[in-house]
């Protein structure tokens, strides 16, 4: 079975631009969470979507938005990019919404903002 | 609040044991452990639930002390493949249901 997939693998943008990152969860999983990982730190929670509804939001500005589609795939959008948005963006999928569910990470999208 | 992991770094020789600790100031519902190698995504190791049993597979096991809001990851007879950064992710239930808060990581290096 395929694991969590993310696209693109790498992305280079300039300040002020917009970016869309994509994630496909493990087949049968209904929850997708997005995390930002800055070099040398642990992942930081951005959003969780379950059954196409936002179920949790981390401490990120409104420039960050996301959505989940009927097939449970998800997009993360970031507007007006800043240099500080440079990071590895990870998508994690789980069967359910809760803390008792194992979350499996995709390979991530490395975003560089110049 | 971010859980605190200790130690920050560990250096071992193959076959030696290590313990990595994760401590939270908040009441926890679950603790998730991951290993991340350089340039790769975190890989799920195990999950411990409040009221649940100590988990383990192969030579890696973990415990969860609910009274102290602490979890420990035990690596026995370490192998070269154990090298990487270990993260604990904690979940507190309530409005944080499903949201993992990660520690700063413990860098484990295993030498031949």
pLDDT at residue B25, as a whole number = 93
Which residue of chain A is at minimal alpha-carbon distance from B28?
A99
The answer to whether A108 touches A23, Cβ cutoff 8 Å, is no
When the pLDDT of each residue in chain A is averaged and rounded to a whole number, the result is: 95
Element (H, E) at B63: strand B60-65
Both tokens of A114, joined, read 């110049």
A45, burial (CB in 10 Å: exposed 0-12, middle 13-18, buried 19+): buried
Which pLDDT value is given to residue B50? Answer: 81
Query: What's the rounded Cα separation, in Å, for the pair B50 and A52?
Result: 28
pLDDT of A1 > 70? The answer is no
Contact B42 A107 (CB under 8 A): no
pLDDT of residue A18: 98
Q: Which tokens belong to B52?
A: 């649940």
Smallest CA–CA distance, residue A11 to chain B, in Å, is 15
- Chain A residues lying within 8 Å of B100, measured CB to CB: 33, 35, 43, 45, 99, 103
Three-state SS at B94: helix
Torsions phi, psi for B107 (to 5 deg): -85, 120
Is the previous residue joined to B65 through a cis bond, with omega within 30 degrees of 0? no
Q: What is the pLDDT of residue A100?
A: 79
Degrees, nearest 5: CA angle B104-A31-B48: 50
What are the strands, taking DSSP E only, across chain A? 5-7, 10-13, 19-24, 31-37, 44-50, 53-57, 64-68, 74-78, 87-94, 104-105, 109-113
Residue with tokens 């409005």, as numbered in its chain: B95
| Each residue's pLDDT tens digit, A54-88 | 999 999 999 999 999 999 999 999 999 999 999 99
CATH entry, B4-111, from 2.60.40.10, 2.40.30.10, 3.40.50.12140, 3.40.50.10490: 2.60.40.10
Q: Which residue has the tokens 């990071």?
A: A87
Residue B68's Cβ-count burial label (10 Å; 0-12, 13-18, 19+) is exposed
**Residue B54 has what pLDDT?**
67
For residue range B43-99, list pLDDT tens digits in order: 999 999 887 666 667 789 999 998 889 999 999 999 999 999 999 999 987 777 778
pLDDT value of residue B1: 83
Chain B interface residues facing chain A, Cβ-Cβ under 8 Å?
2, 29-30, 32, 34, 40-44, 47, 49, 87, 89, 91-93, 95-105
Domains of chain B: which residue ranges? 4-111
The residues, any chain, with a CB within 8 Å of residue A44's CB and separated by 6 or more, are A35, A36, A37, A38, A58, B102
Give tens-digit pLDDT for A2-50. 899 999 999 999 999 999 999 999 999 999 999 999 999 999 999 999 9
How is residue A25 annotated by DSSP?
Answer: P
Name the residue ranges covered by the structural domains of chain A. 5-113
Among the CATH numbers 2.60.40.10, 1.10.10.10, 1.10.10.520, 3.40.50.1820, which is that of A5-113? 2.60.40.10
pLDDT confidence band for A97 (50 / 70 / 90): confident
């Amino acid at each position: 079975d395929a694991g969590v997939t993310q696209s693109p693998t790498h992305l280079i943008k300039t300040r002020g631009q917009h970016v869309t990152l994509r994630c496909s969860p493990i087949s049968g999983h209904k929850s997708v969470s997005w995390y930002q990982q800055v070099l040398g730190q642990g992942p930081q929670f951005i959003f969780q979507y379950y059954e196409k509804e936002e179920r949790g939001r981390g401490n990120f500005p409104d420039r960050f938005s996301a959505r989940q589609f009927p097939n449970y795939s998800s997009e993360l959008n970031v507007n007006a990019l800043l240099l500080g948005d440079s990071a590895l963006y990870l998508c994690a999928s789980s069967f359910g919404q809760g803390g008792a569910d194992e979350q499996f990470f995709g390979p991530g999208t490395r975003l560089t903002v110049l | 609040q971010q859980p605190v992991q200790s130690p920050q770094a560990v250096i071992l020789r193959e076959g030696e044991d290590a313990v990595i600790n994760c401590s939270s100031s908040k009441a926890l519902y679950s603790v998730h452990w991951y290993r991340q190698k350089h340039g790769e995504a975190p890989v799920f190791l195990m999950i411990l639930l409040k009221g649940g049993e100590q988990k383990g597979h192969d030579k890696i096991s973990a415990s969860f002390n609910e009274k102290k809001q602490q979890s420990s990851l035990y690596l026995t007879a370490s192998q070269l493949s154990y090298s990487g950064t270990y993260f604990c992710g904690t979940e507190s239930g309530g409005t944080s249901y499903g949201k993992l808060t990660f520690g700063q990581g413990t860098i484990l290096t295993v030498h031949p």
